[in-house]
Amino acid sequence: MGNTQKKGPGHGEGGGPHSQPGTPGHKRSHGNNTANSKEVQGKNPAVNGSLTAGKSQDEPQGSGPAHRGTVGASCNLDAPCGALPPPLARLKNEGNLLFKNGQFGDALEKYTQAIDGCLEAGIDSPEDLCILYSNRAACYLKDGNSTDCIQDCTRALELRPFSLKPLLRRAMAYETLERYRKAYVDYKTVLQIDVSVQAAHDSVHRITKMLIEQDGPDWREKLPEIPMVPLSAQQHHKDEPSAEVLEARADRAQQEKARKAEARFTLLKQEGNDAVKDGRFQAAVDKYSECLAIKPDECAIYTNRALCYLKLEGFAEAKQDCDSALQIEPNNKKAFYRRALAHKGLKDFLSASTDLQEVLQLDPNVQEAEQELETVTNLLRESLLANSQG
């Protein structure tokens, strides 16, 4: 993957507890910010990609042109910032300048002070607070703190859904923690908003390979739901929907279809089981047949339907269902036992005996198989005797 950021707790698709940002005593990054962060930046596959044609995702939101030098040397620190009062606007501007100079730990501290100030003053400006959380998330990402980066990005997105930079930063953090499904969803959402984000294209391509390897050909069905970005949030470059938007719609439709099919399958299976309990075997056959139309490789449905066919004296159909079950699970005891009963019904006592011996080889404690084997052996002996006399 190439990601070498430090991994926080919550390896995999889950996530462990972490400190609450914007609260007293919030942990600040220490150490040589510039050297450490440049190393992280150089190794992260997505950080060095471009967000858009004109602006990097590394740049804090709401920042003006970079002024190299000390904080005090900048003449832009008192520039107004949205609805923020001057003291908080200055903290944000100082954070932006520190970030541009590679002092990510110090920038984080400024953004934290600005966030705390907004919360304490009860300032009702979701846009400004969203930018502050997103900027602090960028600091966490640079310092290798992916867990807190995800938390800040999520807060930013709660304030302003479908904001591009928090989505992209959260995707990068998820990828660093190897939470590939969530990273994929965020990258795909980014591309619905702006199809020109090359970093997201590259990451989707890379993660798709990982997910195919991890989850197999049905990897899309295991993804969280990909949200549909409203038209108002999409950055349009042409009149027609982008290929990414169309693909995201197709992904969502496929996920929804799979969910509905799973729910339908579960309902039909339960209805079939209930019908068996009530002795309505033909009704159960119908329900199980509908189940198999949805999931043709579900072994238990074949053995269940075979039982119903046995009750209905459809021995050939029961044998066929047991054959199908054994192709899926070659050591399925129920399939061997019920196929033996089907062979018995078809008067193929030798095959019935063979299947019952398979059952007892798999599990010597199946008393029903022992009893049936004795019965079938006697029937086979009688059949051979009758044939010899005839």
Q: Positive or negative, the Cα torsion across 65, 71, 73, 79?
A: positive
Output the CA torsion 201→205→210→211 (10° steps). Answer: 80
Question: Which is nearest to 167 in space by CA: 154, 181, 151?
Answer: 154
pTM greater than 0.85 (yes/no): no
Note the pLDDT tens digit of each residue in 31-42. Answer: 334 333 333 343
Contact predicate 287/272, CB 8 Å: yes
Question: Torsions phi, psi of 280, nearest 5?
Answer: -95, 75
For all residues of the chain together, what is the average pLDDT? 80
For residues 32 and 131, which has the higher predicted lDDT (pLDDT)? 131
Average pLDDT for 188-204: 90
Largest CA distance in the chain: 115
Question: 188 lies in a domain?
Answer: no
Q: Which range (194-198, 239-243, 344-348, 385-389) has the least confidence?
A: 239-243
Looking at residue 269, its pLDDT comes to 96
Q: Which two three-digit tokens encode residue 309? A: 């066919």
Report helix angle 146-159 to 164-176, nearest 10: 150
DSSP string across 260-301:
HHHHHHHHHHHHHHHHHHTT-HHHHHHHHHHHHHH-TT-HHH
Residues 318/309, Cβ–Cβ less than 8 Å: yes
CA distance 118 to 378: 88
Pick the last residue of a domain from 173, 205, 240. 173
pLDDT band at residue 62, thresholds of 50, 70 and 90?
low
Residue 266, domain member (yes or no)? no
User: Of 150-154, 220-224, 280-284, which range is least confident?
Assistant: 220-224
d(CA 242, CA 295): 34
How much is the pLDDT for 241?
57
Q: Of 22-26, 122-126, 235-239, where does mean pLDDT reach its minimum?
A: 22-26
Query: At residue 3, what is the residue type?
Result: N
Of 84-88, 214-218, 233-237, 349-353, give the range with the top mean pLDDT.
349-353
What pLDDT, on the 0 to 100 scale, is given for residue 66?
Answer: 41
The CATH number assigned to the domain holding 373 equals: 1.25.40.10
Buried b (16+ CB within 10 A) or exposed e, 190-202: bbbbbbebebbbe
Q: Give the pLDDT of residue 29.
A: 42
Provide the domain count of the chain. 2
Residues with Cβ within 8 Å of 172's Cβ and at least 6 positions away in sequence, in order, are 44, 46, 47, 141, 149, 183, 203
Candidates 343, 346, 352; CA nearest to 374 is 352
Distance CA 306, CA 301 (A): 8
Residue where a domain stops, chosen among 137, 154, 173: 173
**DSSP code per residue over 8-59:** -S--SSS----PPTTSTT-----S-HHHHHHHHHHH-TTTTS-SSSS--TTS
In a domain, 179, yes or no: no
Higher pLDDT, 30 or 328: 328
- The answer to whether residue 279 sits within a structural domain is no
**What would the mean pLDDT of 254-277 be, rounded to a whole number?**
92
By CB atoms closer than 10 A (0-12, 13-18, 19+), residue 133 is buried
Point out the domain boundary residue: 147, 173, 199. Answer: 173
**Domain annotation covers residue 193:** no
Q: What is the mean pLDDT of residues 63-82?
A: 48
Q: What is the C-alpha radius of gyration for the chain, rounded to an integer number of angstroms?
A: 32
pLDDT at residue 78 tops 70: no
Q: Region 39-47: what's the mean pLDDT? A: 40
User: Tokens in use for 237?
Assistant: 């470059």
The one-letter code for the residue type at 280 is: R
What is the domain range of residue 336?
317-390
The whole-angstrom separation of Cα 66 and Cα 73 is 12
What value does the mean pLDDT take over residues 290-297? 94
Predicted local confidence at residue 181, as pLDDT: 95
Of 335 and 26, the structure prediction assigns the larger pLDDT to 335
* Mean pLDDT, rounded, for 353-375: 93
Whether 10 shows a pLDDT value over 70: the answer reads no
Lowest mean pLDDT among 40-49, 75-84, 362-371: 40-49
Residue 324: pLDDT above 70?
yes
Classify residue 293: in a domain, yes or no. no
Number of C-beta neighbours around residue 95 at 10 A: 30
Place 54 in a pLDDT band, splitting at 50, 70 and 90. Answer: very low
First-to-last CA distance in the chain?
76
User: How does DSSP classify residue 68?
Assistant: -
Query: Is the separation of the CB atoms in 265 and 288 below 8 Å?
Result: no
Identify the sign of the CA torsion 315, 319, 325, 330.
Answer: positive
For residue 225, is it within any domain? Answer: no
Query: Beta-carbon neighbour count of residue 108 at 10 Å?
Result: 30
- Residue 95 scores a pLDDT above 90: yes
- 343 part of a folded domain: yes
